[in-house]
C-alpha cells in the first residue's frame, strides 16, 4: 500500500489523558500536513511539517497540541490532557515537495473520541 | 470568517445526468483550487485541480471551471454515476497562506439509480 497511513483509525480517551496520532506519508513524500474535521464541518489546517522541521503551525491550538516529524519514523500529533472538544477526525496528508501547487494526498484519518 | 464556502449542503441527481457542485471564495490571494471527494470513514481523495491562470480543467468525467472575477468555481460530473455519491470538498491555497489548504464545508452528492 503506497498511500498515506494513519494509526490508530479509532482512539478513545478519557478527559485528561494523552492522545498520540501517527502518520506515515506516501513513499517519496517528505512533507506532512495535519488537518482536523469537526462533525458536519470542513477540514481545518493545523500544522505543516518537513522532516525534523515545523514549517507552519498557524492552525495549531496554543496549548496541549504538538506535532513532530522526526528524521526516522512517522509524524506524530500529540494532544495532552484531552477535553471533549478535541473529539474529531484528524487527517494527515503528504506531498512530494513543498511546492505550493503540489497536490496533498490524504490518509484515512484517526477518529478521536474523548469521553 | 469562512473564506471558502459551499452553500449547498446537499445535492440529489439522477444517474446519467450532470452534477454541478459550486464553491465561492472571498480571498483574492487564492490562486490554486482543488476538489476532493470523501466517502464516510475515509480520507478525502483528490479529484482535480485548477490554477488561477486557467479557467477550465478537464479529467475524464470531471471538469472544473474557475471564474476569477466572480470568485467562483464549479465541478461538473458528466455523466453522474451512483458511485459518485459522496461528500465533495473544494479547497484553495494562496500566496499569503503558504501550503495550507482552506476547505469549504462540503456538499453531499447523492446520485440516484
Of A31, A95, A108, Cβ closest to residue B43: A108
Interface test with B, best of A38, A43, A95 (most B CBs within 10 A): A43
Residue of A nearest to B108 (CA): A40
- Which chain B residues are within 8 Å of A42, Cβ to Cβ? 4, 6, 89, 103-106
Domain boundaries along the sequence of chain B: 4-112
Pairing of strands A10-13, A110-114: parallel
Q: Give every CB contact of residue A49 below 8 A, 6+ residues apart in sequence.
A: A31, A32, A33, A34, A55, A67, A68, A69, A75
Question: In the prediction, which pLDDT does B2 show?
Answer: 82
For range B83-88, the mean pLDDT: 97
Query: How do residues B89-109 score in pLDDT, each as one tens digit?
Result: 999 998 777 788 999 999 999
Closest chain B residue to the Cα of A98, Cα to Cα: B99
Q: Are strands A88-95 and A105-106 parallel, antiparallel or unpaired?
A: antiparallel
Whether A53 contacts chain B with CB within 8 A: no
CATH among 2.60.40.10, 3.30.70.100, 3.40.630.30, 3.30.2290.10 for B4-112: 2.60.40.10
Q: Report helix, strand or coil for B7.
A: coil
For chain A, residues with pLDDT lower than 50 are 1
Block residue for cell numbers 513513499: A27
Question: Chain B contact for A109, CB < 8 A?
Answer: yes
Q: For chain B, how far is it from start to end, CA to CA, in angstroms?
A: 38
**B18 lies within 8 A of chain A by CB:** no
pLDDT the model gives residue B23 = 98
pLDDT at A92: 97
**Per-residue confidence band for B35, with pLDDT thresholds at 50, 70 and 90:** very high
CA A57 to chain centre: 12
Q: Does B3 touch chain A (CB under 8 A)?
A: no
User: Does residue A45 sit at the B interface (CB-CB below 8 Å)?
Assistant: yes
Amino acid at each position: 500500500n503506497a498511500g498515506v497511513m494513519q494509526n490508530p483509525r479509532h482512539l478513545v480517551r478519557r478527559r485528561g489523558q494523552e492522545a498520540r496520532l501517527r502518520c506515515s506519508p506516501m513513499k517519496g513524500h517528505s512533507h506532512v500536513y495535519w488537518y482536523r474535521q469537526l462533525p458536519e464541518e470542513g477540514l481545518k489546517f493545523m500544522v505543516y511539517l518537513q522532516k525534523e522541521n515545523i514549517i507552519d503551525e498557524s492552525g495549531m491550538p496554543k496549548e496541549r497540541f504538538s506535532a513532530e516529524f522526526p528524521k526516522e519514523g512517522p509524524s506524530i500529533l500529540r494532544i495532552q490532557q484531552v477535553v471533549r472538544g478535541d473529539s474529531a477526525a484528524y487527517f494527515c496528508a503528504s506531498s512530494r515537495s513543498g511546492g505550493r501547487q503540489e497536490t496533498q494526498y490524504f490518509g484515512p484519518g484517526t477518529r478521536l473520541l474523548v469521553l | 470568517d469562512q473564506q471558502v464556502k459551499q452553500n449547498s449542503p446537499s445535492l440529489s441527481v439522477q444517474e446519467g445526468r450532470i452534477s454541478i457542485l459550486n464553491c465561492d471564495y472571498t480571498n483574492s490571494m487564492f490562486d490554486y483550487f482543488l476538489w476532493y471527494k470523501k466517502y464516510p470513514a475515509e480520507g478525502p481523495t483528490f479529484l482535480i485541480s485548477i490554477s488561477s491562470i486557467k479557467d477550465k480543467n478537464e479529467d475524464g468525467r470531471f471538469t472544473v471551471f474557475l471564474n476569477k472575477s466572480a470568485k467562483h468555481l464549479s465541478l461538473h460530473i458528466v455523466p453522474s454515476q451512483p458511485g459518485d455519491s459522496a461528500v465533495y470538498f473544494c479547497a484553495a491555497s494562496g500566496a499569503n497562506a503558504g501550503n495550507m489548504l482552506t476547505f469549504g464545508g462540503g456538499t453531499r452528492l447523492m446520485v440516484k439509480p
